[in-house]
Amino acid sequence: MLEVKHLTGGYGKKLILYDINFSVEPGTVVGILGPNGCGKTTLLRMLLGSLHKTSGIISFQGKDITKLKRNELARHFAYIPQRDSVTFPYTVFEMVLMGRTAHFNSISTPSKNDIEFTYSILEKLNISYMADMIYAKLSGGERQLVLIARALCQDTDLLIMDEPTSSLDYKNQKLIIDAIKLASQAGKYILFTTHSPSEPFLIADSVLLLKEGRMVGFGSPTDILTSQTLEQVYGIPMDVLSITSKNNQEVKLCLPVY
pLDDT of residue 190: 95
Beta bridge partners of 5: 57
For residue 191, which of 103, 83, 78 has the smallest C-alpha distance? 78
pLDDT of residue 94: 94
Structural domain for 204, as ranges? 2-256
Number of structural domains the chain divides into: 1
- 80-85-89-91 Cα dihedral, nearest 10 degrees: 10
Q: What is the CATH number of the domain that holds 248?
A: 3.40.50.300
pLDDT of residue 176: 87
pLDDT along the chain (258 residues), means of 10: 95 93 96 95 91 92 86 85 80 93 71 90 91 92 89 90 88 88 91 95 96 97 96 96 89 92
pLDDT of residue 70: 80
pLDDT of residue 249: 86
Please report which residue ranges of the chain form alpha helices under DSSP H: 40-47, 70-76, 92-97, 112-124, 140-153, 170-185, 199-203, 221-224, 227-234
pLDDT of residue 105: 64
First vs last Cα of the chain: how many Å apart? 41
Do strands 189-194 and 29-33 pair parallel, antiparallel, or not at all (unpaired)?
parallel
Q: Which residues contact 96 (CB under 8 A, 6 or more apart)?
A: 118, 121, 122, 146, 149, 150, 153
